[in-house]
């Protein structure tokens, strides 16, 4: 009911905003496109080049799980020719509404062709002795939407973006093709640079995060993320105590948090074991440089974790 009222309020405001802002939202003859999150802007501009003008729905610093569009963004949406979806949670509520607002807008699902893994919590990880995602046990959690954090998965997304541009603007095929090929090469080079960063770290090297954003990033490089958050909630009671004990035993020297989420539990654990809190933003705008910077941060903080050496974890929250 609450979401319905907010949607209705936006619908009422849009005609008023259109009268005053229609000519100023887009000041270009390029294809007007909108993306869900900031890193997508990087991908779309890499392939679209000067043929596209990109607007981002989830503003910097906002949480894609709970985002609600602003009235002026809905105005931009009405004028958009394409919308590049990612599969982030806010789209579950809003994507259908976007299509209703602008039925002529082509919605492109850049996640098409990607097999998503479940978002794991630490206790599920521990009871299996390894990430269940590797075995396809999706019953343990909701699907992980963070597919933009893996260069190899971005290659799939970039192909979807490229093909969408060819459909909408076939007259500029050569330009899109050249841009796409250059971006695929960039992604391959980036993957090799990240592999070099983690060279020498064996299978099972782990880093601790608050929110499990980095599963797709970790897997190709033989890494594991240890998430603090439990199915979208702060750990409580014995679960928090267990994380503190495990962090101390494994000599965890850093906990990675992202600015879009609360880090209360991360701060509690860090204080208890005497480790650092480090920002690792999965939604940074300069996607390429950010991934390299985060890889360097993870490399500096890696501790080798062996699930088989751990005792059974408490399952109930107190």
pLDDT tens readout for residues 152-186: 999 999 999 999 999 999 999 999 999 999 999 99
In this structure, is residue 281 part of a structural domain? yes
Measured at the CA of 119, the angle between CA 197 and CA 288, to 5 degrees, comes to 35
In this structure, is residue 97 part of a structural domain? yes
- Nearest C-alpha neighbor of 77 from the set 107, 52, 47: 107
Confidence of residue 312 (pLDDT cuts 50, 70, 90): very low
Q: What percent of the chain has pLDDT over 90?
A: 55
Last residue of a domain, one of 132, 163, 188: 188
Do both 155 and 232 map to the same domain?
no
In this structure, is residue 302 part of a structural domain? yes
- Nearest C-alpha neighbor of 230 from the set 313, 161, 136, 289: 313
Do both 285 and 216 map to the same domain?
yes
Do both 108 and 242 map to the same domain?
no
In this structure, is residue 107 part of a structural domain? yes
Confidence of residue 236 (pLDDT cuts 50, 70, 90): confident
Confidence of residue 246 (pLDDT cuts 50, 70, 90): confident
Query: What is the pLDDT at residue 181?
Result: 98
Do both 22 and 108 map to the same domain?
yes
pLDDT at 293 over 70: yes
List the single range of 60-74, 85-99, 115-129, 263-277 with lowest mean pLDDT. 115-129
Distance (Å) of CA 90 to CA 22, 98, 200: 26, 12, 39
Do both 57 and 126 map to the same domain?
no
Cα–Cα distance between 67 and 235 in angstroms, integer?
24
- Nearest C-alpha neighbor of 227 from the set 261, 192, 271: 261
Do both 104 and 229 map to the same domain?
no
In this structure, is residue 194 part of a structural domain? no
In this structure, is residue 245 part of a structural domain? yes
Do both 17 and 160 map to the same domain?
yes
Measured at the CA of 201, the angle between CA 199 and CA 207, to 5 degrees, comes to 120
- Span 19-35, average pLDDT: 64
- Nearest C-alpha neighbor of 111 from the set 146, 75, 135: 146
Residues 54, 44 contacting (CB under 8 angstroms): yes
In this structure, is residue 206 part of a structural domain? yes
pLDDT at 190 over 90: yes
Confidence of residue 25 (pLDDT cuts 50, 70, 90): very low
Measured at the CA of 16, the angle between CA 14 and CA 22, to 5 degrees, comes to 80
- Span 10-17, average pLDDT: 46
183: which 2 tokens? 């971006």
Cα–Cα distance between 318 and 237 in angstroms, integer?
5
In this structure, is residue 315 part of a structural domain? no
Enclosing domain of residue 136: 122-143+202-309
Do both 251 and 159 map to the same domain?
no
Do both 131 and 37 map to the same domain?
no
Tell me the whole-structure pTM to 2 decimals. 0.82
pLDDT at 122 over 70: no
Do both 206 and 103 map to the same domain?
no
SS3 sequence, the chain? Answer: CHHHHHHHHHHHHHHHHHHHHCCCCCCCCCEEEEECCHHHHHHHHHHHHHHEEEEECCCCCCCCCCCCCCHHHHHHHHHCCEEEECCCCHHHHHHHHHHHHCCCCEEEECCCCCCCCECCCHHHHHHHCCCHHHHCCHHHCCECCCHHHCHHHHHHHHHHHHHHHHHHCHHHHHHHHHHHHHHHHHHHHHHHHHHHHCCCCCCCEEEEECCCCCHHHHHHHCEEEEECCECCECCCHHHHHHHHHHHHHCCCCEEEECCCCCCHHHHHHHHHHCCEEEECCCCCCCHHHHHHHHHHHHHHHCEECCHHHCCCCCCCCC
Do both 61 and 79 map to the same domain?
yes
Last residue of a domain, one of 188, 222, 242: 188
Do both 218 and 84 map to the same domain?
no
List the single range of 29-38, 78-87, 134-143 with lowest mean pLDDT. 134-143
Number of Cα atoms under 13 Å in the Cβ half of residue 176: 21
How many domains are there within the chain? 2
What is the CATH number for 66? 3.40.50.1980
Last residue of a domain, one of 188, 212, 244: 188
306: which 2 tokens? 């062996």
């Amino acid at each position: 009911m609450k979401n319905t009222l907010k949607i209705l309020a936006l619908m009422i405001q849009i005609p008023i905003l259109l009268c005053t802002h229609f000519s100023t939202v887009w000041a270009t003859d390029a294809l007007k496109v909108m993306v869900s999150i900031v890193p997508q802007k990087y991908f779309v501009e890499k392939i679209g080049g000067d043929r596209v003008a990109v607007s981002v729905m989830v503003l910097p610093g906002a949480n894609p799980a709970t985002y609600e569009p602003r009235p002026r963004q809905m105005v931009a949406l009405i004028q958009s020719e394409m919308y590049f979806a990612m599969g982030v949670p806010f789209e579950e509520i809003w994507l259908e509404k976007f299509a209703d607002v602008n039925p002529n807008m082509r919605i492109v699902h850049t996640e098409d062709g990607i097999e998503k893994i479940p978002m794991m919590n630490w206790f599920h990880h521990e009871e299996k002795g390894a990430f269940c995602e590797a075995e396809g046990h999706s019953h343990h959690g909701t699907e992980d939407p963070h597919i933009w954090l893996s260069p190899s998965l971005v290659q799939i997304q970039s192909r979807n973006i490229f093909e969408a541009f060819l459909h909408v603007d076939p007259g500029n095929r050569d330009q899109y093709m050249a841009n796409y090929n250059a971006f695929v090469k960039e992604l391959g080079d980036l993957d090799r640079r990240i592999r070099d960063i983690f060279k020498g770290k064996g299978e099972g090297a782990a880093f601790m995060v608050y929110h499990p954003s980095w599963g797709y990033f970790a897997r190709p490089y033989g890494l594991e993320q240890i998430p603090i958050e439990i199915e979208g909630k702060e750990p409580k009671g014995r679960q928090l105590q267990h994380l503190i004990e495990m962090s101390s035993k494994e000599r965890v020297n850093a906990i990675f948090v992202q600015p879009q989420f609360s880090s209360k539990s991360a701060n509690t654990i860090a204080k208890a074991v005497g480790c650092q809190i480090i920002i690792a933003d999965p939604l940074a705008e300069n996607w390429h440089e950010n991934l390299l910077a985060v890889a360097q941060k993870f490399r500096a903080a890696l501790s080798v974790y062996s699930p088989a050496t751990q005792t059974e974890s408490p399952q109930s929250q107190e």
